[in-house]
């Protein structure tokens, strides 16, 4: 095999020109080409017989060109071709297919891949619409024939147009794999490969591109052949190894070892307004035991909406305060920060401690004077608990003696911010507790938040009744409002949530914080931004009247408009409040506080209330244009109700077109209330990249691994990496260990560099 670090332009068949094209795809070395894995395989060794095809299946077949025709219909040219196997034939068609006209000759052999559809024409039993197609080499090209037929053939994503196609890649990869050259450097210790029954690297690379005869097609398709597993494991092993090192390094840094004597324990008990759940007790125990260590805590607390994270956080803050330190609690929105502030003050003042706990609020839109005063208190150590938004890190707040930082609803913060906060220059580093309601699987969390330990609140406080979730269409809105009115008469409160703040062409969906911070926006948000913008562009060219007629503008209901409309019509006589991100801090605070005190019946809002808002008497959540919201978002919104003992309802109203994906999201919402299940589905629907916002989350772009598909291997890699660092494998020769470290040093930056960015 060619040396893996051979530059691509020196490979036979690739010159400087193609090398340039490949560089655009970040392919520079032979190794990069070898790690461009097929995304599927075609069995051309045992081709399917046309007789046995089933309508609806996606199949790959081999057949002979019988005849072609270009039909010029009124709408478009359609290219038709009949492909045959003995007496049986299959019709294929390509819309706008003029470009295919002279490509095929009768008698040529073709490999086709596409969906089998019933054909209406007489004689032909099935057809394929726009199948993928490859012309197989004839008897005069025996060498290529070996790669293209009579075997399981790999299919690749093209690396640049028709030229750098699957066929091209097969040839180049074959050249690389079959050229004489030095032995391919093995990256995993032989002992490890043996124990895990993984093939060596060279064999694995050969087998994923040109699978040996007896390989299972099913295993190939889902990347679970031993060869695939070996390459995936290798990638994940080194990722986990690097993360494990970072974790260990963290443990060497100095932190504040806190005491938890009788006095602290009494203080913790005094603050509790209810009996904690077993999960809350356990998690607090995990946190406190970290805080007792002389190294800084880095812990992630996962708990579904409503699982009671806040009180745990406040108790952790008390530990720091009772040890003479300051604690800071950061929330992603001003509304949430303000709510935490009010709740914390109420709880802590109740304790009647002398001297009393001093709680201070710091958000961006407080007036300058109050901000300055509060910063002074923080600086002089006259504030024990500081609650705020990103203003806490942006506005150069200096703490006298910061001992604990709590980040609430981490999924709304960029990860980089988390690091910035952690990196405040300080002799010893404060403990950090990060909280999130996104219940991702543990191993994923451990990888995603590489250097954090994970605690899980897996129990809801007692007395919760399940939330009844229903879907309905806009036409039945009046019934929804009548229902809501009845609930208000029973003494309950309600939310009604909208995707945009102001007019239907509002181009600013709800964002309560600057753009770059808005971690991976939900699909709905992205849509809400994109559509009105293109509508606006259209408007400039087309006369207004025409535009209105076409009605391509999404007719979105907005919070502001519906606030006025509902007040005047369906909900007249009820006390309505309005809440959105464009209101200033004071307006928001007043509105929120009135709702909390029960002085408002219905809160008309945007997604600013998505995170954290806690009003136990609210029992109805209406979400309009639910088709535009992401799953995680809807689950969070629904979590605003069902927080008290009263039976709660979530009504998902849809207006306009509901895409199949939106349909799935809505179904899932109705079907389950399990945040874990919803997160899994969200992950599956959106893919890990979008779900986590790969770059945002600091995850590398994997070459072969897929976090969702390869979870088992991820767990294995993590276990092995840990054992390796501990030197648990006594059989492993010293040179093998050294080689692993050398490989990590050489490749960490190139392949996993994003993780290092923190």
Instruction: Enumerate binding residues for ligand ADP (CB under 6 A).
Output: 274-277, 280, 303, 305-311, 437, 461, 612, 614, 616, 643
> At CB < 8 A and 24+ separation, what contacts does 416-424 make?
416/698, 416/757, 416/758, 417/390, 417/393, 417/517, 419/758, 420/393, 421/330, 421/392, 421/393, 422/298, 424/399
* Residue 729 binding result from ligand ADP, Mg ion, none, given CB thresholds of 5 to 8 Å by partner type: none
3-state secondary structure of 154: strand
- Distances from the Cα of 335 to the Cαs of 147, 488, 587, 612, 650, in angstroms? 63, 24, 10, 9, 22
CB nearer ligand ADP, residue 4 or residue 519: 519
* Residue 689, contacted partner among ligand ADP, Mg ion, none, CB below 5-8 A by kind: none
d(CA 616, CA 586): 23
Residues contacting residue 666 through CB under 8 Å, at least 6 positions apart: 471, 626, 627, 652, 654, 658
Among 280, 270, 263, 259, smallest CA distance to 403 is for 259
Residue among 606, 416, 589, 631 nearest 511 (CA): 606
Which one of Mg ion, ligand ADP, none is in contact with 277 (Cβ closer than 5 to 8 A by kind)?
Answer: ligand ADP
State the minimum distance, in angstroms, from the CB of residue 267 to ligand ADP.
Answer: 18
Whether the CA torsion 329, 335, 341, 343 is positive or negative: it is negative
For residues 449 and 419, give the distance between their C-alpha atoms in angstroms, rounded to a whole number: 11
* DSSP 8-class letter at 615: -
- The residue of the chain with the least Cβ separation from Mg ion equals 612
Contacted by 619, from Mg ion, ligand ADP, none: CB < 5 to 8 Å by type? none
Of 91 and 638, the one with the shorter C-beta distance to ligand ADP is 638
Could you tell me the smallest distance in angstroms from the CB atom of residue 309 to Mg ion?
A: 5
The nearest distance, CB 46 to Mg ion, in angstroms, is: 57
Residue 363 Cβ, how far from ligand ADP at the closest point, in Å?
19
- Residue whose C-alpha is closest to residue 648's, from 615, 625, 613, 675: 615
Which among Mg ion, ligand ADP, none contacts residue 372 (Cβ within 5 to 8 A by kind)? none
CB 177 within 8 A of CB 205: yes
Q: Which is nearer to Mg ion, 458 or 474 (CB)?
A: 458
Q: Least separation, in Å, of the C-beta of 465 and ligand ADP?
A: 13
580 touches which of ligand ADP, Mg ion, none (CB within 5 to 8 A by kind)? Answer: none
- d(CA 535, CA 532) in angstroms, rounded, equals 5
Out of Mg ion, ligand ADP, none, which partner does residue 338 contact, by CB within 5 to 8 A per kind? none
DSSP character for 698?
T
Closest CB 693 distance from ligand ADP, rounded Å: 22
Query: Bridge-partner residues for 79, per DSSP?
Result: 70, 94
**Which one of Mg ion, ligand ADP, none is in contact with 95 (Cβ closer than 5 to 8 A by kind)?**
none
Residue whose CB is less far from ligand ADP, 461 or 504 = 461
Tell me the C-alpha distance between 363 and 388, whole Å.
Answer: 5
22: partner contacted, choices Mg ion, ligand ADP, none (Cβ within 5-8 A by kind): none
Select the binding partner of residue 206 from Mg ion, ligand ADP, none (C-beta < 5 to 8 A, by kind). none
* Region of residue 87 (left: phi > 0; alpha: psi -120 to 50; beta: else): alpha
Contact at 8 Å (CB) between 706 and 689? Answer: no
Q: Looking at beta carbons only, is 137 or 308 nearer to ligand ADP?
A: 308
Looking at the Cβ atoms of 374 and 389, the one nearer to ligand ADP is 389
**Number of residues in contact with Mg ion, rule: CB under 5 A?**
1
Closest residue by beta carbon to ligand ADP? 308
User: Which residue, 393 or 435, has its beta carbon nearer to ligand ADP?
Assistant: 435
| Residue whose CB is less far from ligand ADP, 179 or 617 | 617
For ligand ADP, which is the closer residue by CB, 437 or 585?
437
**Residue 29, φ and ψ in degrees, nearest 5:** -120, 165
Q: For residues 628 and 643, which CB has a smaller minimum distance to ligand ADP in the complex?
A: 643
Name the minimum Å distance from CB 458 to ligand ADP: 12
Q: How many angstroms separate the CA atoms of 26 and 423, rounded? A: 32
What b/e string do you get for 326-345 counting C-beta neighbours within 10 Å, with b at 16 or more?
bbbbbbbbbbbbbbbbbbbb
> Are the C-beta atoms of residues 394 and 517 closer than 8 Å to each other?
no
Q: Which is nearer to Mg ion, 89 or 333 (CB)?
A: 333
Partner that binds at residue 307, options Mg ion, ligand ADP, none, CB closer than 5 to 8 Å by kind = ligand ADP
Query: Smallest gap, in angstroms, from Cβ of residue 461 to Mg ion?
Result: 13
CA dist 526 → 273, 518, 531, 730 (Å): 41, 11, 9, 53
With CB under 5 to 8 Å by kind, the binding choice for 559 among ligand ADP, Mg ion, none is: none
CB of 276 to ligand ADP, least distance (A): 5
User: How many CA within 13 A on the CB side of residue 256?
Assistant: 25
C-alpha–C-alpha distance, residues 328 and 359, integer Å: 10
Q: Specify the residue, 306 or 700, whose C-beta has the smaller distance to ligand ADP.
A: 306
Cβ 493 to ligand ADP shortest distance, Å: 14
Nearer to ligand ADP, 576 or 641 (CB): 641
- Smallest distance from ligand ADP to CB 738, Å: 47
Site for Mg ion, residues 297 to 326, rule: CB under 5 A? none
Which of Mg ion, ligand ADP, none does residue 616 bind to, with CB < 5 to 8 Å depending on kind? ligand ADP
In angstroms, give the least distance from the CB of 18 to ligand ADP: 54
Least Å distance between CB 658 and ligand ADP?
29
Task: Please give the residues from 602 up to 641 whose contact with Mg ion meets the rule CB under 5 A.
Answer: 612
Q: How many CB atoms lie within 10 A of CB 50?
A: 21
The least CB distance from residue 460 to ligand ADP, in Å, is: 8
Q: Which is nearer to ligand ADP, 308 or 693 (CB)?
A: 308
Query: Which residues are paired to 71 by β-bridges?
Result: 78
Q: Which of the listed partners (ligand ADP, Mg ion, none) does 339 bind, with a CB threshold of 5 to 8 Å by partner kind? A: none
- Residue 80: both structure tokens together: 């038709």
Write out the residues near Mg ion by the rule CB under 5 A: 612
């Amino acid at each position: 095999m060619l040396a893996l670090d051979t530059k691509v332009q020196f490979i036979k068949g690739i010159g400087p020109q193609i090398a340039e094209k490949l560089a655009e795809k970040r392919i520079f070395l032979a190794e990069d080409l070898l790690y461009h894995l097929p995304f599927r395989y075609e069995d051309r060794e045992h081709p399917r017989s046309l007789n046995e095809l089933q309508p609806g299946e996606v199949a790959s077949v081999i057949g002979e060109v019988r005849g072609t025709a270009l039909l010029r219909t009124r709408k478009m040219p359609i290219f038709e071709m009949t492909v045959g196997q003995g007496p049986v034939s299959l019709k294929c068609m390509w819309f706008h297919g003029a470009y295919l006209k002279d490509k095929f000759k009768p008698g040529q052999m073709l490999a086709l891949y596409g969906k089998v559809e019933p054909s209406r024409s007489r004689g032909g039993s099935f057809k394929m619409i726009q199948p993928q197609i490859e012309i197989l080499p004839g008897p005069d090209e025996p060498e290529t024939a070996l790669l293209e037929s009579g075997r399981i053939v790999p299919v690749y994503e093209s690396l640049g147009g028709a030229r750098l196609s699957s066929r091209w890649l097969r040839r180049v990869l074959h050249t690389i794999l079959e050229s004489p050259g030095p032995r391919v450097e093995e990256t995993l210790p032989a002992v490890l490969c043996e124990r895990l029954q993984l093939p060596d690297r060279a064999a694995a690379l050969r087998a994923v591109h040109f699978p040996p005869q007896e390989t299972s097609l099913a295993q190939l398709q889902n990347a679970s052949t031993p060869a695939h597993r070996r390459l995936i494991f290798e990638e994940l092993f080194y990722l986990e190894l690097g993360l494990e090192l970072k974790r260990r390094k963290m443990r060497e840094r100095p932190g504040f070892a806190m005491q938890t004597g009788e006095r602290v324990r009494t203080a913790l008990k005094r603050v509790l307004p209810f009996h904690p759940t077993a999960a809350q007790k356990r998690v607090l125990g995990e946190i406190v035991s970290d805080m007792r260590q002389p190294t800084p805590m880095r812990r992630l607390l996962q708990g579904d909406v409503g699982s009671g994270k806040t009180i745990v956080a406040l108790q952790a803050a008390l530990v720091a305060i009772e040890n003479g330190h300051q604690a800071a609690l950061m929330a992603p929105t001003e509304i949430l920060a303000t709510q935490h502030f009010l709740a914390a003050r109420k709880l802590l003042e109740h304790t009647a401690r002398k001297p009393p706990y001093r709680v201070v609020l710091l958000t961006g839109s407080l007036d300058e004077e109050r901000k300055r005063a509060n910063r002074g208190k923080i600086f002089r150590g006259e504030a024990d608990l500081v609650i705020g938004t990103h203003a806490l890190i942006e506005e150069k707040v200096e703490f006298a003696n910061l001992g604990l930082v709590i980040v609430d609803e981490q999924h709304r913060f960029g990860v980089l911010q988390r690091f910035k906060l952690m990196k405040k220059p300080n002799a010893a580093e404060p403990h950090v507790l990060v909280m999130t309601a996104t219940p991702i699987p543990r191993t994923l969390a451990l990888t995603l938040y590489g250097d954090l330990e994970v605690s899980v609140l897996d129990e809801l406080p007692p007395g919760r009744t399940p939330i009844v979730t229903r879907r309905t269409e806009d036409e039945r809105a009046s019934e929804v409002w009548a229902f809501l009115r009845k609930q208000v008469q029973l003494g309950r409160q309600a939310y009604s949530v909208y995707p945009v703040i102001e007019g239907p062409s509002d181009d600013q969906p709800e964002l309560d914080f600057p753009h770059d911070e808005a971690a991976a926006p939900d699909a709905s948000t992205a849509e809400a931004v994109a559509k009105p913008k293109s509508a606006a562009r259209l408007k400039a060219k087309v006369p207004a009247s025409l535009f209105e007629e076409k009605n391509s503008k999404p007719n979105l209901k907005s919070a502001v408009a519906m606030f006025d409309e509902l007040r005047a019509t369906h909900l007249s006589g009820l006390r309505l409040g309005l809440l959105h991100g464009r209101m200033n801090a004071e307006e928001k605070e007043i509105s929120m506080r009135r709702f909390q005190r029960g002085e408002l019946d219905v809160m008309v809002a945007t997604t600013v209330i998505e995170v954290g808002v806690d009003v136990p008497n609210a029992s109805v959540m209406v979400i309009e244009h639910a088709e535009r919201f992401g799953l995680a978002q809807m689950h969070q919104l629904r979590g605003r109700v069902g927080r008290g003992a009263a039976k709660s309802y979530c009504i998902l109203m849809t207006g306009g077109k509901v895409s199949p994906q939106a349909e799935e999201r809505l179904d899932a919402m109705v079907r389950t209330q399990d945040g874990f299940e919803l997160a899994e589905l969200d992950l599956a629907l959106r893919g890990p990249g979008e779900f986590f916002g790969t770059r945002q989350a600091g995850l590398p772009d994997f070459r072969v691994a897929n976090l969702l598909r390869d979870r088992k291997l991820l767990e294995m890699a993590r276990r092995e990496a840990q054992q390796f660092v501990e030197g648990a494998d006594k059989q492993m020769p010293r040179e093998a260990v050294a080689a692993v470290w050398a490989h990590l040093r050489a490749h960490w930056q190139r392949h996993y560099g994003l993780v290092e960015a923190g």
